[in-house]
Amino acid sequence: MSILLEVKDVTRTFGALKALDGVSLSLRKGEILGIAGPNGSGKSTLFNVISGIPFHATTGLISYDDQEITRVRPHEIYRAGLARTFQKDCEFSSLSVRDNVLVGAHFSSLREEMHDDTAIEYALDLVGVEESKRSQKAENLSVFDKKRVMIASSVVSKPKLLMLDEPASGLTKPEVNQLCELILAINRTGVAILVIEHIIALLLKVAPRLLILNEGKLLAEGTASEIIVNKDVIEAYLGGSTHP
Partner 1 sequence: MSRIKTQATVATICFALLCFLPLFVTDSYIRHLMILAFIFAVVACSWDISLGYAGLFNFGHVAFFGIGVYTTGVLARNYGFDPWLALPAAGVMAGISAIPIAIPVLRLKGIYVVLVTFAFSQLCLQLVLSQSWLTGGSGGLVRIPPLTLFDYNFARDGKFAYYYVALVLLVFTVIALTRFVKTPFGRGILALRDNPDYAAARGINQAAIRVTVLVVSAIPAGLAGGLYCLYFRISAPEVFSFGTATLVLSMLLVGGTSTIYGPVAAAFCIVLFSEYLENFPDLNVYKHLVIAAVIIAILRLAPDGLAGLAKRLTMRLIKDN
Least Å from the CB of residue 7 to partner 1: 18
Name the residue nearer to Mg ion (CB basis): 87 or 177.
87
Least Å from the CB of residue 153 to Mg ion: 20
Least Å from the CB of residue 86 to partner 1: 6
Task: Annotate each residue in 21-60 with x if it binds ligand ADP (CB under 6 A) or - if it does not, as one string.
Answer: ----------------x-xxxxxxx---------------
State phi, psi for 58 to the nearest 5 degrees. -75, -50
Using CB under 5 A as the binding rule, whether residue 242 contacts Mg ion is answered as no
How many residues interact with ligand ADP (rule CB under 6 A)? 11
Least Å from the CB of residue 190 to ligand ADP: 27
Task: Collect all residues with Cβ–Cβ distance below 8 Å to 125 and sequence separation of at least 6.
Answer: none
Residue ranges in 12-51 that form contacts with Mg ion under rule CB under 5 A: 44
**How is the beta sheet containing 161-165 ordered, strand by strand?**
82-84, 161-165, 192-196, 32-36, 209-214, 217-223
Nearest to 125 by CA among 94, 155, 163, 89: 155
String of b and e for 205-237 (b: at least 16 CB within 10 Å)?
ebbebbbbbbbbebbbeeebeebeebeebeebb
Name the residue nearer to ligand ADP (CB basis): 14 or 107.
14
Interacting residue ranges for Mg ion, rule: CB under 5 A: 44, 87
